[in-house]
Every structure is written in structure tokens, then in C-alpha cells.
Amino acid sequence: MGLFEVITVAIVAVFGVKAFKEYNLRKAGVDTSEVDVLKSELVRLQERVATLETIVTDKSYQLGEQIDKL
């Protein structure tokens, strides 16, 4: 392995290490307050979907739909 190859490998290794460090910094910098807001919104939407499922599967709702179709 010549001098040129050693220098090239060293440069590539340095850039690889710097890119890996930058990736880890960005990955660790997630804003937890935004995640908490999204989690609470998800819970709220799940409750709404559960309520809608209850309404739609209710026998009187289905009967009303059948009457409207007639």
C-alpha cells in the first residue's frame, strides 16, 4: 500500500467518524416536548375513534341507516 492510499484511507476515515458523530448528535437532539404533544393527540384521537366505533356498531344506528335506505 502506497503513501497515496494511506492518505486517502485516513481522510475517508476522518470524514466517516465526523459524519457518525454528527448523526448521533442529531439523533439525540429530538425535542421531547413535541413528542409529548403528539402522544397526547394520539390518545385523544384513539378515544374519538373508539366513540365512533361504538356509535356505528349500535343496533339503533344500523336500523336508522336501513330505514333511510328504504
Query: What are the phi and psi torsion angles at 34 (to 5°)?
Result: -65, -40
Parse the chain into domains and list their residue ranges: 1-30, 31-70
The three cell numbers of residue 44 are 385523544
Instruction: Say what the pLDDT of residue 30 is.
Output: 67
Instruction: Say what the pLDDT of residue 49 is.
Output: 94
Instruction: Say what the pLDDT of residue 2 is.
Output: 81
For each of the chain's 70 residues, which pLDDT tens digit applies? 788 888 888 999 999 999 998 888 887 766 778 888 999 999 999 999 999 888 888 777 777 777 787 7
Number of H helices, E strands in the chain: 3, 0
- CA distance linking residue 58 with residue 27, whole number of Å: 46
